[in-house]
Amino acid sequence: MPSKYIVGRVGMFFLTIFLASTLVFFLPRLSGRDPFREKLFEEAQRGGYLEDVDEIAAALNERYGFDRPLWQQYVSYLGEIARFDLGTSQFTFSKSNNQLLAETLGWTIGLTFISAMVAFFIGTGMGAIMEWRRQNTGLLAAMAPFLMMSAVPYFIFGLVLLTVFWFSWLQAFDWELFPPYGAYDPTVEEWPDWSDFRFLGSAVWHATLPALSIVLVSLGGWAMGMRGMMVTTKGEDYMLQAEAKGLPDNVRFYRYAIRNSLLPQLTGLALQIGLIVSGVVLVEIVFTYPGVGGLLVQSIRNSDYPLIQGIVFVLAFCTAVTTLLLDMIYPLIDPRISYSGN
């Protein structure tokens, strides 16, 4: 019963969103702090004398609705979340959180999506071929360094890449192989303009090292997972039958072996999304990529709670949506499974 499965899965999705938004609401409020007042005091200390700190803080808190009872704030917050209104940043007055996120989220999603997909498909393919052409032991040997790399956190590997491909290169050849920071060459004023091929090239060139630090680290895990599944699949009776009835090698490989081994890989991808997003945020900081990571660090430094909450909620939301979509793909790939809901 696919419809029951879909209803259950969508229910799970809303539960995740609800839990995430509730955590996002209550966790920062547990501290019982008053960021406006603290910031004003800080300013007062820095700039000498500042009158009526308490009154100004109270007025600001009233304007943001922070003076109301907690349950009222919570109810109106849930309403805003349902409308995707992430509120106003406390310390970036000219822009709403939605605007700030709209400027940065695209870079993050692009980087995450492309590098995660590249890693998933190349890694899975490598694992599949590795097991299918078992007699070719060179493939296994080629895999070893990728396996070791898969242990290292993305952003640490990013620092390694930065040292090797930017710093050492610059020292050795007095020439930049890859740029060390940013998402495109900022010297051209009319950019960003996606219809300009030079801009596109510049963006790809800037994204190479951040993307590589995700791809190279993830490859090994996908390859080993796929290899393990292929071992099991190769031992199945239907594989023997396919061989016995004389199906060509590539048909058995693509239509029989890969298709039957792919499902656990997708489950793995769905489970990994959260980790990948956490990792990408740190990679962006290493490469000063103009994505959500940088905004997050800035908001942490300012103790800008509404903005931190907005960023965390949006990232959790994107993760939950991706997980949901992946779970919805299952029935398309493997029609055998019965979705009875339990």
Partner 1 sequence: MSNATDTVTGPEPMMAEPSSFESIYRERLVPMGRYLRRNKLMVGGLSILGVIVLLVIIGHLFYQQDDRKGNPQGVSELVYAASVPPRLKPSWNPWGEYPLGTDEQGRDILAHVLIGTPKTFRIGAIAAAIGIGVGLILAFVGAYVGGWADLIIRLLVDSLIPIPGLLVLILIATSLNPGQGLTENQLAFAIAVLAWPGPARVIRSQVLVMRERGYVTMAQMSGTSALGIIFKEMMPNLAPYLLASYVAALTGAMLATIGVETLGLGDIDAPTLGAMLYWIIFTNALLKAQWWWLIPPIVVIVALFVGLFMISAGLDEVANPRLRRRV
* Min CB(254)–partner 1 separation in Å: 26
Question: Does 285 contact partner 1 by CB under 8 A?
Answer: yes
Rounded CA gap, 324 and 317, in Å? 10
- 323 scored as a contact of partner 1 (CB under 8 A): yes
Contact status, residue 108 vs residue 284, Cβ threshold 8 Å: yes
Q: What angle is formed at CA 262 by the lines to CA 258 and CA 268, rounded to 5 degrees?
A: 150
Q: Is 78 in the site for partner 1 (CB under 8 A)?
A: no
Amino acid found at 107: W
Among 67-75, 80-88, 123-131, 294-302, the segment contacting partner 1 (CB under 8 A):
294-302
Give yes or no for a contact between 123 and 221, defined as CB atoms under 8 angstroms apart.
yes
Q: Tokens at residue 210, please?
A: 């951040």
Asked if 140 is part of the footprint of partner 1 (rule: CB under 8 A), the reply reads: no
Which member of 28, 106, 179, 264 binds partner 1 (CB under 8 A)? 28
What Cα–Cα distance (Å) separates residue 237 from each residue in 49, 240, 244?
83, 5, 10
Q: Which amino acid is at 335?
A: P
When asked if residue 286 is in the footprint of partner 1 (CB under 8 A), the reply is yes
Q: Report the residue number, 96 or 323, with the smaller CB distance to partner 1.
A: 323
Q: Which of 1, 7, 10, 15 binds partner 1 (CB under 8 A)?
A: 15
Tell me the two tokens of residue 193: 């303009």
CB of 211 to partner 1, least distance (A): 19
Element (H, E) at 64: helix 53-64
Site mask for partner 1 (CB under 8 A), range 169-208, x = bound: --x--------x----------------------------
CA distances from 24 to 97, 114, 281, 297 (A): 15, 28, 18, 17
What is the contact surface with partner 1 in residues (CB under 8 A)?
12, 15-16, 19-20, 23-24, 27-31, 33, 38, 148, 150-153, 155-156, 159-160, 162-163, 166-167, 171, 180, 270-271, 273-275, 277-278, 281-282, 285-286, 296-297, 300-301, 303, 305, 308-309, 311-312, 315-316, 319-320, 323
